[in-house]
Amino acid sequence: MTRRRRLALLVVAAMAVATAAWAYWTVAGGGPGAASAGTLDAPSGVSASTTAGSSTVQLAWTGSTLSGGQSPTGYSPPGSGPATGPRPPPAAPPRRP
């Protein structure tokens, strides 16, 4: 096989692979879809305690459930991570000239 023929075969093969990949990633889908959403019930047994002179507060609560009674997954309440000190104030809006 000549060098030119090998190169032509390689180009044709590369174009075939590229065309198939392009077709795979650009195909539009269709058909019916369905989803449902639930509401998150409020937690229960909420309590907070602190010791006089302390700068910490202990919080406790019983986790929330979805409106259907299932436990939520993939949900973290805002601020649920450990506190690392005071939070900075929000940035001021930009001034207009």
Distance separating alpha carbons of residues 90 and 14, to the nearest angstrom: 53
Can you tell me which residue has the tokens 């609560």? 61
Query: Distance from first CA to last CA of the chain, Å, rounded?
Result: 71
- SS3 at position 79: coil
* pLDDT at residue 92 tops 70: no
**pLDDT at residue 75, rounded to an integer:** 64
**pLDDT at residue 38, rounded to an integer:** 76
State pLDDT tens for residues 12-66. 888 888 888 877 776 677 788 887 777 888 888 889 998 888 888 888 888 788 8
**pLDDT at residue 80, rounded to an integer:** 61
Pairing mode, if any, of strands 44-49 and 58-62?
A: antiparallel
Residue 73 structure tokens: 């997954």
Distance separating alpha carbons of residues 92 and 70, to the nearest angstrom: 41
**pLDDT at residue 27, rounded to an integer:** 64
Q: What's 67's DSSP letter?
A: T
